[in-house]
Chains A and B, each alone.
Chain A
Amino acid sequence: MGIKQVMALLIALAIVGGYALVQESAQDAAPISSDTFLYSIRSRDVSLVEITHIGDTERFVWDGQKRSWVFDDHSRAGVSEYRWGGITLLLEGPKYERLLKVDQVDLGRFGLDPPSTTIRVGLDNGDRFALDVGITTPDGLNHYVRLEGADEVALVDRSWGDVLVHLVTEPPYATE
């Protein structure tokens, strides 16, 4: 093997080695994020929450004059502060355990076609988005949750969905 071949070998080795080194370094430098949220909004931007669970719907809006959350019906009754406290914080962005890539076929498997629960959130700036909540995982620890239109389903702690569904099954009427 002549000098040209040796040089070619060394150059090839240096190129591949350098590339691998850069790749590995880039990976090592990347922070491992534990903040895995399905989405992220500010709770003070939320102005509308509508939850539909197995045909029943409850709708809540922020009343700027009363400076409190009220039922969006003819009564405009205020919600129980005790029950409502923290709801908008929950809606800032649920933390998920895992994201699953899905296609339309999978949605039924996760109880998302159709979903048993749909949560619609409105923001001050007029933006709207919806979340579908499916069945729980077989171990009962998480709900399958899908951001409307997304091709991913998140595993979100079961208590998150249960608290929101509870607003429909037992509406948070204020008690005098």
Chain B
Amino acid sequence: MKLPRRSPEETAAPKNGSLALVRELVSGLGASKGTLIISGAVAVLVGLLVVAMLPKLRGLGLSVFSFGAILFLAVMLIGLLQPQDLLARRKQRYGGIASVAVMAVIGIIALINLLSVNNDVLFDMTASQQYSLSPQALSVLAERLDGEVIATAFFVEESSRQRPVESVMVARMKDYLEEFARQSDGLFSYRVFDPERFPDVATEMGVDQWPVVVFEEISSGNQQTVLTTANPEQEFLTALLEITGLEQKVIYILDGYSSWNPDDLSAGAREGFGFAVQGILSDSYAVRTLNLLQVGQIPDDAAAVVAVAPNRDIRGDDVALLEAYLQRGGRLLVLFEPNPPTTWRDFIARWGIQVLNGYVVDPASHVAGAPLTPVVGQGQYRDPHVTSLMDLSFFPGLAPLWLADQPEEGSAAVDLRLLAVSSETSFATDDLERTAPLASDAPGPFIVGAVVRATGPIEESTSSAPSETPGVVAVFGDSDFISNKYFYAFSNGDLFLNVIGDMVSDETLISVRPKSVVFREMAMTPKEFAFVRYTSWLLLPVLISIAGTVVWWRRR
């Protein structure tokens, strides 16, 4: 170590006593102060990185951190005794400034980390917003919970004892419990027990399998159990609604008039709409089928009745039931296919919408190679309330719709809203091979979907006072867009679910929904994983070090 030159006064001073020892030590540091300060700062940084990135080496990391902090502070302190020495030389000054800057950055990062732990905020950056609660869930948690609800989750702590799929589900369930608690303004809380470590708690709550979450409303003692689920949000919300006694709206699927199957969950099904039913369930409605021939009435809890692809004549009694239901404020959604039975056309025409013959051919806006599959884009949506933020939607085999005649005065119609229309160049034809219109073809644009609110059949003039709650009839000229094959394509599903939300006046549901969860994990072999790990740990620092060394060498 190169010793600094001493002044004559120092040389002449007596060398006995502790003061002399400190002075000797201070002056002995000399030119090494800068190096020591930087070494201390580096040790602090390395120690923090080790603690943060290598939990198993936490002890070593803390030791390195402590050593660095003590070294840094000691040298700084000693430097203060001789400020002229510390700051006298340019290199030392730069070293000191760099050290202070490094410490400041570390301090800022530590403080931000501390603040983020104590004030957690969720930024859902996923394309499908898969970590965000739906508006319905937020509404229930923030506004409709009256009493305290506690969820008791039973998860085995050792993830190695869970099947891989199960551990993913448990992680999602934990995330949603945390998010529910965060959004509930203190009324919802949760706790987690290991059922094997706390068998008494599990037995007391009647738990004999897991993973499971038991929801309980404290005041009423109502309990609801949710087993492992791939869709925690909907299951949790349903459990909340049930234990708190909040009314769950029921959507009835009209049965007996169509060969389409609401229970079909096969991905490519063209006459199955199980995905659409799942979508309704995900919006926290209950879904039931309704066969009017068997039941003979429309249940009082019906929030809406949906008829999909009716291809059998509707019975007169059922028309009477549906009209009575609509006249007392009911909601009916009918999704036609081209050339439906006349009885259905007549029934819907009485409520303002005509179903014309043939198919819509749209030369200007269709799926490539399929003129019989019109595409509707932003310029063709007509109701921003329902269709804002939506992407394209398309309708394979679209029946042309138009307005029905209605009396000039005294119409029962309250309002009629178009949801979407085909392009100006579209036309209706029965010739499925033709892509150019003839003079005899009905010219477009046609209504793709519309919503009518009316106090009664609008073809009949009404003189009576309108009822307080008009009935709602929504009509689409196509059913295929909600089939399993097309439901998740573009905004087809959103359009259908938004219309249901609009019909049942659930404002919170008018949105673009999160799509199904996408598997985004990168699957790697252990060797690939090790390569990625070690290159990310070592490659960049080594490259930066080499670059720094080269720069230093050239400037030297």
Interface residues of A (CB under 8 A from B): 1-6, 8-10, 12-13, 16-17, 19-21, 23, 28, 97-98, 100, 106, 109-110, 135, 137-140, 142, 144, 155
Contacts and interface: CB of A to CB of B under 8 A. Distances in A.
Interface in B227-282: none
B152 to A, nearest CB: 13
Contact of B42 (A2, A12, A20, A139): A12
Given A5-B42, A6-B549, A138-B207, A97 B197 contact: no
Interface in B191-206: 195-200, 202-203
Contacts of B34: 2
A96 to B, nearest CB: 12
A101 to B, nearest CB: 9
A115 to B, nearest CB: 14
A5 B92 CA distance: 12
Interface of B: 34-35, 38-39, 42-43, 46, 49-50, 54, 56-57, 60, 64, 91, 95, 98, 158, 161, 195-200, 202-203, 207-210, 526, 534, 537-538, 541-542, 545, 548-549, 552
A17 B199 contact: no
B548 A1 contact: yes
A140 B202 CA distance: 12
Contacts of B209: 139
14 contacts: A2-B34, A2-B95, A8-B38, A9-B545, A10-B545, A13-B46, A13-B545, A16-B49, A20-B537, A109-B199, A137-B199, A138-B196, A138-B203, A139-B195
Contacts of B548: 1, 6
The interface residues of chain A, by DSSP majority, are classed as: helix
Contacts of B534: 21
Contacts of B91: 2
Given A6-B552, A8-B35, A138 B208 contact: yes
Nearest to A99: B158
Contacts of A97: 161
Contacts of A9: 42, 545
A59 to B, nearest CB: 30
Contact of A5 (B38, B210, B541): B38
Given A10-B545, A109-B199, A5 B39 contact: yes
B305 to A, nearest CB: 43
Contacts of A140: 208
Given A5-B95, A6-B545, A23-B57, A155 B196 contact: yes
Contact of A138 (B35, B195, B537): B195
A10 B207 CA distance: 55
Contacts of B198: 109
Nearest to B161: A98
Contact of B38 (A1, A21, A28): A1
A19 B35 contact: no
B207 to A, nearest CB: 6
Nearest to A9: B42
Given A17-B537, A17-B538, A138-B207, A4 B161 contact: no
Contacts of A20: 54, 57, 537
B508 to A, nearest CB: 38
Contacts of B56: 23
A21 B56 CA distance: 12
A96 B207 CA distance: 22
A10 B49 CA distance: 15
Contacts, number: 82
A1 B365 CA distance: 64
Contacts of A138: 195-196, 199, 202-203, 207-208
B195 A137 contact: yes
A20 B58 CA distance: 11
Most B-side CB within 10 Å, residue of A13, A17, A28, A109:
A13
A23 B59 CA distance: 14
B46 A12 contact: yes
A106 B203 CA distance: 15
Contact of A3 (B57, B60, B197, B552): B552
Contact of A8 (B39, B57, B60, B158): B39
A86 B376 CA distance: 74
Contact of A13 (B60, B95, B161, B541): B541
A73 B121 CA distance: 71
Given A8-B35, A98-B161, A138-B195, A19 B57 contact: yes
Contacts of A2: 34-35, 91, 95
B541 A98 contact: no
A14 to B, nearest CB: 10
Nearest to A97: B161
Given A5-B39, A16-B57, 12 more contacts: A1-B548, A2-B91, A10-B545, A12-B46, A21-B534, A100-B196, A106-B197, A138-B199, A138-B202, A138-B208, A139-B208, A139-B210
Which of A3, A5, A19, A138 has the most B CB atoms < 10 Å from its CB?
A138
Nearest to B99: A5
A20 B202 CA distance: 41
Top 10 A-B pairs ranked by shortest CB distance?
A138-B202, A5-B38, A12-B46, A4-B35, A8-B39, A138-B199, A109-B200, A138-B208, A138-B195, A138-B203
Contacts of B537: 17, 20
Contacts of A19: 57, 60
A109 B193 CA distance: 14
A155 B538 CA distance: 42
A135 B199 CA distance: 9
A1 B43 CA distance: 15
A100 B60 CA distance: 28
Contacts of B57: 16, 19-20, 23
Contacts of A21: 534
Contacts of B203: 138
A63 B43 CA distance: 70
A17 B537 CA distance: 9
Most buried by B among A5, A140, A144: A5
Looking at A16, A100, A142, the one whose CB has the most chain B CB atoms below 10 A away is: A16
A96 B541 CA distance: 45
